[in-house]
Structure formats: C-alpha cells, structure tokens
Amino acid sequence: MSRDHGDHHHDGDQHAHGSDLSEMQLRVRALESILTEKGYVDPAALDLIIEAYETRIGPHNGARVVAKAWADPAFKRALLDDATAAVGSLGFVSRVGDHLVAVENTQHLHNMIVCTLCSCYPWEVLGLPPTWYKSAPYRSRAVIDPRGVLADFGVMLPAETEIRVWDSTAETRFMVLPLRPAGTEGWSEEQLATLVTRDSMIGTGLAKSSLAKSAGEVAP
C-alpha cells in the first residue's frame, strides 16, 4: 500500500488498522449496545446500511451513467443539464439526492473533484470515497498542484490542457464525465461501462483504453 514506509502519516494509518483493531472493535461494539438499549438504533437497520454500501451503492452505478452518456447523445445533454434528474431516470438507485452535477472532460479541459474541507463525494453514483480521497495529501494538493496529484496516479496531461478543480464546499456534488476512449465505436453500453474507472469519474484517472482486456469489473 505504501510507497514510503517512513511517512509518519501512513504510520498513523497502520496503527489504526493494526494494533488498535480490537480496541476499536470493542469501543464501537459498546457504543452500538448503548444506542440499541436506549432505543435509538435498530441493529437490523445498521446491517442494511452496511450491505447497501458493500453491494448496491458503488462506482458501478457511475460507470453505467458514463457509458450511457457516451452512447446516447440525448442522455448526455440531459446529464450535463441536470444530473440529478438524468441519473434518477435510470432507476438503479431509489432516488438521487439533490444537486448532483456532471462535468465533462474534453480534449482541452480536464476536471478534478475534491473536498478540501472534509470528504464530500457523490455517494449515490460512486459509493463511499476511497481513503486517499479523504486524506490530507489529496485534500491539500488537489487545488494548488493538481498536475502533481495526477502524476501520483501516473497520469500526465499536455501542459496546454486546462485543469479545472471543483472544490465541493457546499451540498453540490460533482462527478466527472471522462473522455470516451478511441476505438470504441459501436460498443454497447455494457461494454463501454467496463472501461469506466472510479478514478476517471473523480478526475484522478482516465477511462481505460479500448485495448484493455480484463474487462468486467470497475477498476480503480
């Protein structure tokens, strides 16, 4: 996971995920007991929330949105006009929360999404954010050095490409509509969706090449 094991911040993460694991488990279990006994929460509801984020609500939803926008010009216009309504019309989530905005990459413009103040992220279409999205390195650098951040992801763009960073400082939620890869003319929406990565919808990656073979799952 780490490319720099001496990084103090990363050591903090290992601490949290390693030696303190049982302590955290006990502490969370105790709090859940208290809240259940006081009648504030129903453990069955908690199970369903976790299940939803582990199965139904994830980047595969966003990948379907992007694939449809690539394949269907009318849907793409609707998506860029009102993403809340357009995504809601697909019916794979019960309803999309308000204020979803899709921003389109072009040959000359690359969009990137961040929340410098906390961790705002379009949960309905992308699921829960990855750890790096919530981390200090990403939140601090995305707005001042987005090309450096892209380099961390192995993405190099021409110097003349405009980089547009969207800081999610209110309840507006953004998703990136990445560039459609070359050589995908005539592909079905299902085939196109296999090229759409989570990171391409955040703006820290590009859609996979049409030559990518191991399709079938949403890669990072």
Partner 1 sequence: MNGIHDMGGMHGFGPVEPEANEPVFHSDWEGRVLALNRAMGYSRAWNIDMSRAAIEVLPPEVYLTRSYYEKWLLRLEQLLIDRALVDSDEMAAGHALRPGKPLRKLAAADVGAALTRGSYGREPSAPARFKAGDRVRTRNINPVTHTRLPRYARGRVGTIECVRGCHVFPDSVAIGKGENPQWLYTLRFEGRELWGDNCDPNLKVSIEAFEPYLEAI
Chain residues 94-153 in contact with partner 1, contact rule CB under 8 A: 94-99, 114, 116-119, 123-124, 127-128, 130-132, 134-144, 146-147, 149, 152-153
Query: Encoding tokens for residue 82?
Result: 């009102």
Question: Residues 64, 92: contact at Cβ < 8 Å?
Answer: yes
Exactly one of 2, 33, 89, 118 is catalytic; name it: 118
Is 214 assigned a catalytic role? no
Check residue 170 for interaction with partner 1 (CB under 8 A): yes
81 lies in the site for partner 1, by CB under 8 A = no
In the complex with partner 1, the residue whose CB is nearer, 71 or 168, is 168
The helix/strand/coil state of 176 is strand
Q: Which of 93, 155, 179, 215 binds partner 1 (CB under 8 A)?
A: 93
Q: Annotated catalytic, 19?
A: no
Phi, psi dihedral angles at 73 (to 5 degrees): -60, -35
Sign of the Cα torsion 192, 194, 200, 206 reads negative
How many of the chain's residues bind partner 1 (CB under 8 A)? 95
* Nearest to partner 1 of 71, 149 (CB atom): 149
Does residue 2 carry a catalytic annotation? no
Between 113 and 195, name the residue whose CB sits nearer to partner 1. 113
Output the smallest distance, CB 194 to partner 1, in A.
16
Pull the structure tokens for residue 219: 């890669």
Q: Which of 90, 104, 164, 189 binds partner 1 (CB under 8 A)?
A: 164
Read off the tokens for 197.
């990565």
Q: Which of 122, 120, 124 is nearest to 52 (CA)?
A: 124
Query: Is 94 one of the catalytic residues?
Result: no
Q: Which of 86, 94, 84, 112 is nearest to 57 (CA)?
A: 94
Contact (CB, 8 A) for 123 and 95: no
89: DSSP letter: T
Could you tell me if residue 91 is left (phi over 0), alpha (psi between -120 and 50 degrees) or otherwise beta?
left
Closer to partner 1 by CB, 14 or 188: give it. Answer: 14
Q: Which of 106, 169, 188, 209 binds partner 1 (CB under 8 A)?
A: 169
| 162, containing H or E segment | strand 162-167
177-206 residues near partner 1, rule: CB under 8 A: 199, 204
In the complex with partner 1, the residue whose CB is nearer, 28 or 183, is 28
Q: Report the site for partner 1 in 24-63 (rule: CB under 8 A).
A: 24-25, 27-35, 37-42, 44-50, 52-54, 57-58
- Looking at the annotation, which residues are catalytic? 115, 118-120
